Amino acid sequence: MYVPAHFSADDAEVRELLAGCGAADLVTVSPRGLTATYLPVLYDPSVGEHGAVLAHVARNNDQWREPASGESLLIVHGPDAYVSPSWYASKAEHGRVVPTWNYLTAHVYGRLVVHDDPAWVESMVRRLTERHEQGGDPSWAVDDAPPAFVAGQLRAIVGLELRVTRVKAKAKMSQNRPEADIAGVIAGYRARGDATMADAVRTATRRAAREE
């Protein structure tokens, strides 16, 4: 991934992105070529030097059966959205502006470990469920389902663990624009009702300003 210095995500942004990631694209290379699957994931920072990403796939998904060659790749997606040139103060000044796209993403590389182990898979599924059910009213727990049914569902999936070796992350959030243009982008997102992107641009540009 091409990452210009002014769009390089810092450690705090990477940690926040991985901790908040609900699902991501797992890409592996095997003798049969490239395979990709979009998976619900859970980041565990306590594993190894860089943490691990936990997931599961359907047993019928051949991706887990094909030994991964070298590093595997998890593509994590943060918030993203179009940027209209009409939001820039620069448009009124000289008109030399074009559309672009703001986004936050990370390419997480690591060694893929397969866990065809019911106990490991059950523990991971419980953790994943508890994370996403937290604060729900009502909420659901694995034990709400009949034990025999749960056991059958667990037999139908296989656990995956990506033990992270390195991360390349990019936060392209208008950091390269003049202050007035940044303010226009934030206002443009808010006018569209996209508070998530407005906050993401504000946070990224403030961090960039502190580092200058």
Query: Whole-angstrom Cα distance, residue 78 to residue 80?
Result: 6
User: Which one-letter amino acid corresponds to residue 49?
Assistant: E
Q: What is the torsional sign of CA 7, 195, 26, 10?
A: positive
For 106-175, the DSSP string reads EEEEEEEEEE--HHHHHHHHHHHHHHHHTT-SS---GGGS-HHHHHHHHHTEEEEEEEEEEEEEEEESST
In this prediction the pTM is: 0.91
In angstroms, the first-to-last Cα distance of the chain is: 24
Per-residue pLDDT of the chain (212 residues; tens, 9 = 90+): 999 988 998 888 899 999 999 999 999 999 989 999 999 999 999 998 899 999 999 999 999 999 899 999 999 999 999 999 999 999 989 999 999 999 999 999 999 999 999 999 999 999 999 999 998 889 999 999 999 999 999 999 999 999 999 999 999 999 999 999 999 999 999 999 999 999 999 999 987 777 65
